[in-house]
Amino acid sequence: MIPHLLSTRDLSRESAISLLDTAEDMAILGHRDNKKLPALRGKTIVNLFYEDSTRTRISFEVAQKRLSADVINFSAKGSSVSKGESFKDTILTLRELGVDGVVIRHPSSGAPQLLAERDWIDVPVVNAGDGTHEHPTQALLDAFTLRKNIHGADSRGRGLDGAHVIIVGDILHSRVARSNVWLLEHLGARVTVVAPVTLIPAGASRWPITISHDLDSALSQPVDAVMMLRVQSERMRDAYFPNAHEYSQGWGLTEERFAALSPQTLVMHPGPMNRGLEICSTAADSAQSVILQQVANGVFVRMSVLYSILTGTSEVPHE
Amino acid sequence: MSNSLLFRQATLPGGEQADVLVRDGLIAEIGTISSEASRVLDAAGLRILPGLVDLHTHLREPGFEASETILTGSQAAAAGGYTTVFPMANTSPVADNASVVELELSRGREAGYVQVQPIGAVTAGLAGTALADLKGMADSRARVRVFSDDGKCVHDPLVMRRALEYVSAFDGVIAQHAQEPRLTEQAQMNEGELASRLGLAGWPAIAEETIIARDVLIAESVGAALHICHLSTAGSVDVVRWAKQRGIRVTAEVTPHHLLLTEDLAESYDARFKVNPPLRTSEDVLAVRRGLADGTIDIVATDHAPHPSESKECEWDVAAFGMVGLESALSIVLLTMVETGELSWVDVERVMSRTPAQIGRLDWQGLSVGAPARLTLVDPGARQVFATEHLAGRSTNSPYLGRVLPGRIVYTAFEGYLTVDDGALVPAETVAGHALDYAMQRGVPRG
C-alpha cells in the first residue's frame, strides 16, 4: 500500500486501480442508512488548508467523518501562519500535538512532498492540491466517474483502456490537468489537451498527450469525455488571451459545440464553473453532464485514499 | 627572518617544481632556495597558484549579518583559497555611495583575510532609475571600478546606456545581472518540461539572452566595457562569442554551480538548489564549459550567496535564491574543467585569479618576485565528502553537501601571512594581528 498520496505521476496502475476499487466499496456504504465505518476511530487527521477551498475541504471532511476519524480543520487565515509562522514550525507543532495523518492544500508546488520527505513529521500525507503541481484526489474521482460511466457495474479491476478524454482550457496553471494527464495515461486512456498556445506548458510536447489548439477539430473525433477547466479572469491581464468573448468562442463548450456533441460524450468539470465562459449552462445541466456525480464520487475516492493509506489495507470489511 | 615563509618543492601552474620564499609580505624568491626562513613548509605534491580572485561575492554586511559578515565571508574566501573578493552592492543600506563602500573596505582590512574590493551599485538604492554616486565611489578610498545592481537587472535601456557611458570616463565597468524582469515574473526554475511538471514557474533562457544581446550592442555603440554576471545558457555563450568576434568590449563569468549542476535537482523541491539564474539543462552545462575552455567566458566567479536556514528550509517558491560557493569553487573547477582535460592549471590561474583581477581593474602580478605574497596551495589529489565542517562562512546553504569533491586547500597566504594553515583556517585574532602589523609596516591607511 502506498505510504502517501502526493501525485498521480508516481502512482502505479495497480495502486490506482486498487484505490478506485476500494472507492467502489465506499460507494456501496454511501447508499446504506448508516453510512459510517469505524475504520479510523481514534485517529486524528488534520486538514491543513493554506489556500481557501471550501469544496475540497468539505469533501475530505465528509470522507473523514464517515470513516469515524477525529478531524481538525486548520486554515491559514486567522492562524499562526497569518502571524508569520513558517511552514516547518507549523508542521513541528502538529507533530507534537500527535496527529495521525495530514491532508494538505497549499499554494506552493511541492509543499506536500516536503512534508512527506523531511523529518519534520512522520505521518501519511495526502495532497489536496499544491500550487500548479498536482491534485491527485481530483484526478482519481474523475477516473472513478469515467470508469463508472463506461463500465458500469463491471468497473472493478479495470482501467480506462482505449478511452479518449479531451481536456480543455488553462492547462498551464492547472494542477487538475497535470494529475489527470498522468493518471489517465496509467489507466490506458488517450488524452488530448486543447488550449491556446499560451496556456500549454513549456515542454508539454514530451508528455503522453496529443496537443491541439482547435477544439472543433478535436471534438470531431470519437470522444468519451470532454473535461472543461476553469479559466481565471486574471489570465486576461497577463496576455494569455485577449478577452472572455474570444476565449469562449475559441475554447468554450458553447451551445453550438454542445449541440454538435455526441450524446454519448460525457461532460465533466472539476468546478467551480464559470457558466457562460468555459461552459454553457445547457451543457453543464444536460443529461450527459456528470459534474454532480464528480462531487459525489469525490467523497468515495477520498474515503478510499484515507482508508487505504491510514489502515495500510485495501480490503473493506462487510459486516 | 621573523616573518618569512618558505614553501618547499611546490608545483607551479606550468608544472615546474620550485621553492617559494615569502618575506615582508612579498614574494622574495622563486627557484631552488638555500636561505633559511622562520617557517619552512613542505609543499611537495601541492599546486601553488596566485591567490584566487572572486569578482562576484555577497558578504551581506551591512544589513544581513545573520547570513554573513565581512569577517565570516572573508574566512569562507580564505578557506576556498581566495585572497581577493568583490562584494556585491545589495546590502542594506545599499552600497550606492562612498560611505558604504569605504565601510566595507575598512572592515575587510580589519578582518585581514582577503582584500575586500567593493562593487558599487549602478542605480541609487538598486531601484533601476537614478544613477548611484558612481564617481563618488570611484574617487573614494575604496577606488570602485566595478558597478552592478546584481540581484536585479539594469533593465531600462536608457539607464544602462548612460551608466556604461558615465563610468567609461574613469575606466569603470558595468557588471550586468542579465534578467529581463517581465519574462521572469514569479520565476522559480529553468523553464521547460521539468518546471511544467513540477508546477514551478519557468525562468526562460531568452530572459537572459535578450538582455545580453541588447547590452553588447549598447556597449559597442558607446565603446564602453560590459561584464556579464553568471552567464548560464548555451544561447548566452553564443551571443557573447559573437560579440567578442565583433570586437565588443565584453567579458563574462560563469559560476561553479552552472558548470556542474542541472535543473533535475529541483525535483526534490529542496531549496538548496534554488538559485538565480536557475540551474539549467545538461546541454547548457556543456555549453558553458566549452565557453570557459575556449575563452568566450573569461572567468569563474562564485556568486557566493549565504542565506540563513529558515530561508531554505521551506517551500520552494518561498525560499531565497542563492547558494554559498567560496569554499567549494576550486574543487568544482577541478572536477568539471581540469579532471576533464578542458583546462590546464595555467588556465585555472587565468580564469580564477589573473583575469578576474584585471576585469576588476586591480594590479595583478601573479607569481613573480616582488609581487605581494598572495598564494593558494592546493592538494589536487585529495578527495573528501564535502560537509558543513568544510564551510567557514556563517551559512550552510551549499548544494554540494554530501558529494565527494576533489582538491583540498592546504595553505592560503595573504600579504605574506597564512590565513589557512595545513588545511585549517587561522583564527581571526591571529589574522587581524598580522593585518595590523602589515598595515603599519607598509603604511596602508587604516580604516
Bridge partners of A250, per DSSP, are none
Distance of CA B308 to the CA centre of its chain: 20
Confidence band of B441 (pLDDT split at 50, 70, 90):
confident
Cell readout for B183 is: 519574462
Helices (H), B225-319: 234-245, 256-260, 282-293
The number of C-alpha atoms within 13 Å of B346 and in the hemisphere containing its C-beta is 3
Cα–Cα dist B149/B226, whole Å: 13
What is the dihedral angle through the alpha carbons of A20, A24, A25, A26, rounded to the nearest 10 degrees? 90
Q: Testing the interface with B: which of A6, A105, A108, A173 to mutate, by most B Cβ within 10 A?
A: A108
Cell of B64: 544581513
Residue whose C-alpha cell reads 558529494 in the numeric block: B403
Asked, for residue B375, whether it belongs to a domain, the answer is no
Q: Considering only CA atoms, which of B15, B71, B57 is closest in space to residue B300?
A: B57
| Closest CB to B310 among A86, A108, A207 | A86
Radius of gyration of chain B from Cα atoms?
A: 21
User: Residue type for A101, please?
Assistant: G
> Measured between beta carbons, which residues in chain A are less than 8 angstroms from residue B278?
none
B19 annotated active-site: no
Return the SS3 of A300.
helix
pLDDT of residue B445 exceeding 90, the answer is: no
H helical segments located in chain A: 13-30, 54-66, 87-97, 111-117, 136-151, 175-186, 215-219, 234-237, 244-251, 255-260, 281-284, 291-311
Cell 569577517 sits at which residue? B71
Instruction: Kindly report, residue by residue over B331-374, the tens digit of the pLDDT.
Output: 999 999 999 999 999 999 999 999 999 999 999 999 999 999 99
CB contact under 8 A, A133 and B198: yes
Residue count (chain B): 447
pLDDT digits (tens, 9 = 90+) for A293-316: 999 999 999 999 999 999 998 888
Q: Among residues B288, B280, B390, which one has the least CA distance to residue B336? A: B288
The answer as to whether B440 is a domain residue is: no
Do the Cβ atoms of B220 and B195 come closer than 8 Å?
no
Q: What pLDDT is recorded for position A82?
A: 74
Please name the residue that has the C-alpha cell 596566485.
B50
Calculate ∠ Cα A78-A81-A85, nearest 5°. 145
CB contact under 8 A, A207 and B200: no
Within-domain flag for B379 = no
Integer Cα distance of B153 and B301 in angstroms: 18
Q: Which of A87, A88, A202 sits opposite B195 (nearest CB)?
A: A202
Mutation site for B-interface testing, chosen from A8, A85, A106, A114 by largest number of B Cβ within 10 Å: A114
Q: Please, which residues 50-79 of chain B have a Cβ atom closer than 8 Å to chain A?
A: none
The angle subtended at Cα A50 by Cα A44 and Cα A56, nearest 5°, is 70
In chain B, residues 395-434 whose CB comes closer than 8 Å to chain A: none
CA distance B320 to B244: 34
Q: With beta carbons under 8 A apart, name residues in chain A contacting B198.
A: 109-110, 133
CATH of the domain at B301: 3.20.20.140
Q: Considering CB atoms only, which of B194, B204, B315 is closest to A114?
A: B315
Asked whether the beta carbons of residue B199 and residue A130 sit closer than 8 angstroms, the reply is yes
Q: Does B310 touch chain A (CB under 8 A)?
A: yes
Given a cut of 50, whether residue B1 has pLDDT beyond it is no
pLDDT > 70 fraction of chain A, expressed in percent and rounded: 99
For A271: left if phi > 0, alpha if psi spans -120 to 50, otherwise beta; the answer is: left
Say if B265 is an interface residue toward chain A (CB within 8 Å).
no
pLDDT at position A315: 85
Mean pLDDT of B433-441: 93
What integer pLDDT is reported at residue A80 of this predicted model?
Answer: 75
| Number of inter-chain CB pairs under 8 A, A vs B | 68
B146-158 mean pLDDT = 98
Q: Cα–Cα–Cα angle for B163, B165, B168, nearest 5°? A: 105
Q: Tell me the CA distances in angstroms from B134 to B170, B254, B331, one per residue in order.
A: 10, 26, 36
Q: What is the longest distance spanned by two Cα atoms in chain B?
A: 66
Tell me if residue B53 falls in helix, strand or coil.
strand
For residue B19, the distance in angstroms to the closest alpha carbon of chain A comes to 51
Question: Which residues of A fall within a CB distance of 8 Å from B272?
Answer: none
Which residue segments constitute the domains of chain A, with CATH numbers given? Answer: 13-134+297-311 (3.40.50.1370), 136-295 (3.40.50.1370)
**CB proximity B363 to A under 8 Å:** no
Give the predicted TM-score (pTM) of the model: 0.96
Question: Do residue A131 and residue B314 have CB atoms under 8 angstroms apart?
Answer: no
CA nearest B427: which of B93, B71, B105? B71
Nearest-angstrom CA–CA distance, B113 and B425: 10
| Residue B236, all three cell numbers | 548566452
Percent helix, strand, coil in chain A, to 5, is: 45, 15, 40
The average pLDDT across B281-297 equals: 98
Subunit contact A132:B199, Cβ cutoff 8 A: yes
A50 touches chain B (CB under 8 A): no
- Nearest 5°: the CA angle A186, A190, A194 is 120
Block residue for cell numbers 585569479: B353
Q: CB B199 to CB A114 under 8 A? A: no
The candidate with the shortest Cα–Cα distance to B298, out of B360, B340, B246, is B360
Cα B118 to Cα B126, B275, B305, B432: the distances in Å are 15, 23, 16, 19
Could you give the CA distance from residue A91 to residue A72 in angstroms, rounded to a whole number?
14
How far apart (Å, rounded) are the C-alpha atoms in residues B9 and B19? 5
Per-residue pLDDT at B139 exceeds 60: yes
Of all residues in chain A, the one with the smallest CA distance to B312 is A88
Nearest chain A Cα to B194, which residue? Answer: A203
At residue B29 the predicted structure's pLDDT band, cuts being 50, 70 and 90, is very high
Boundaries of domain holding B72: 50-359
> Contacts of residue A134 in chain B, CB cutoff 8 Å?
199
Structural domain count, chain B: 1
Q: Could you read off the pLDDT of B84-122 as tens digits, one per residue?
A: 999 999 999 999 999 999 999 999 999 999 999 999 999
Residue B276 amino acid letter: N
Give the nearest chain B residue to A110 (CA atoms): B269
What pLDDT is recorded for position A75?
87
- Could you tell me if A106 lies within 8 Å of chain B, comparing CB atoms? yes
Can you tell me which residue has the cell 512522520?
A: A122
Give tens-digit pLDDT for A180-218: 999 999 999 999 999 999 999 999 999 999 999 999 999
What's the CA gap between A88 and A80, in Å, rounded? 12
Q: Which of B283, B260, B155, B167 is nearest to B215 (CA)?
A: B155
Q: What is the pLDDT of residue A52?
A: 86
Mean per-residue pLDDT, B411-415: 98
Of the candidates B193, B290, B40, B307, the one whose C-alpha atom is nearest the C-alpha of residue A207 is: B193
Say yes or no to pLDDT of A319 above 60. Answer: no
- 3-class DSSP state of B282: helix
Buried b / exposed e along A151-174 (16+ C-beta atoms within 10 A): eeeebeeebbeebbbbbbbbbbbb
Using only the alpha carbons of chain A, give its radius of gyration.
Answer: 19
| Residue B176 domain-assigned (yes or no) | yes
What's the pLDDT at A71? 97
Distance of CA B412 to the CA centre of its chain: 16
Flag whether B23 is in a domain.
no
In the numeric block, the cell 559573437 is attached to: B242
Annotated catalytic residue, options B42, B303, B317, B437: B303
Residues of B in contact with A4 (CB under 8 A): none
Residue A205: other Cβ atoms inside 10 A: 11
The answer to whether B269 contacts A132, with C-beta atoms less than 8 Å apart, is no
C-beta atoms of B315 and A204 within 8 A: no
Q: Most B CBs within 10 Å: which of A6, A109, A135, as the mutation test of the B interface?
A: A109
Q: Give pLDDT, residue A31.
A: 85
Q: Which contiguous run of DSSP H or E holds residue B421?
A: strand B417-421
Chain B interface includes A108 (CB < 8 A): yes
List chain B residues with CB under 8 Å of A203: 192-197
Residues in chain B with CB shorter than 8 Å from the CB of A202 are 191-193, 195-196, 202, 204
Whether A57 has a pLDDT exceeding 90, the answer reads yes
Is B59 inside any structural domain? yes
Paired strand residues for B19:
B31
> How many residues make up chain A in this entry?
319
Backbone φ and ψ for B18, nearest 5 degrees, come out as -155, 155
The chain-wide mean pLDDT, for chain B, equals: 97
Across the interface, which of A110, A117, A203 has its CB nearest the CB of B196?
Answer: A203
Mean pLDDT of A25-39: 90
Considering only CA atoms, which of B258, B264, B312, B309 is closest in space to residue B287? B258
Q: Which has the closest alpha carbon to B332: B409, B395, B251, B224?
A: B409
- % residues pLDDT > 90 (chain A): 87
For residue A109, list chain B residues with Cβ-Cβ distance below 8 A.
198-200, 269, 316-317
* Cα A30 to Cα A242: distance, rounded to the nearest angstrom: 45
| Contact status of A51 with chain B (Cβ, < 8 Å) | no
Please indicate whether, in this complex, the C-beta atoms of B193 and A204 are within 8 angstroms of each other.
Answer: yes
| Mutation target among B184, B188, B264, B269 for the A interface, most CBs of A within 10 A | B269
For β-strands B26-31 and A266-268, DSSP reports them as: unpaired
Indicate whether B274 belongs to any domain: yes
Does any domain span residue B368? Answer: no
- Is the CB of residue B133 less than 8 Å from the CB of residue B89? no
User: What is the tens place of the pLDDT at every residue in B362-376?
Assistant: 999 999 999 999 999
φ, ψ (nearest 5 deg) of residue A237: -65, -30
pLDDT digits (tens, 9 = 90+) for A243-293: 999 999 999 999 999 999 999 999 999 999 999 999 999 999 999 999 999
Q: How far is A100 from chain B (nearest CA, A)?
A: 22
Query: Which pLDDT belongs to residue A18?
Result: 97
Residue with cell 632556495: B33
Q: How far apart are CA A79 and CA A57, in angstroms?
A: 17
Residue B444 binned pLDDT confidence (cut-offs 50, 70, 90): low
- For the segment B217-261, what is each residue's pLDDT rounded down to a tens digit? 999 999 999 999 999 999 999 999 999 999 999 999 999 999 999
Q: Tell me how far apart the alpha carbons of residues B140 and B163 are, in angstroms, rounded to a whole number.
A: 18
- The gap between the terminal CA atoms of chain A, to the nearest Å, is 23
Compute the nearest-CA separation of A42 from chain B (Å): 31
CB atoms within 10 A of CB A51: 18
Report chain A residues whose CB lies below 8 A from the CB of B269: 109-111, 113-114
How large is the ipTM? 0.95
A26-48 average pLDDT score: 93
Going by C-alpha positions, the residue among B294, B183, B144, B167 that lies closest to residue B219 is B167
Q: How far apart are CA A266 and CA A143, in angstroms?
A: 12
The pLDDT, as a whole number, for residue B447 is 47
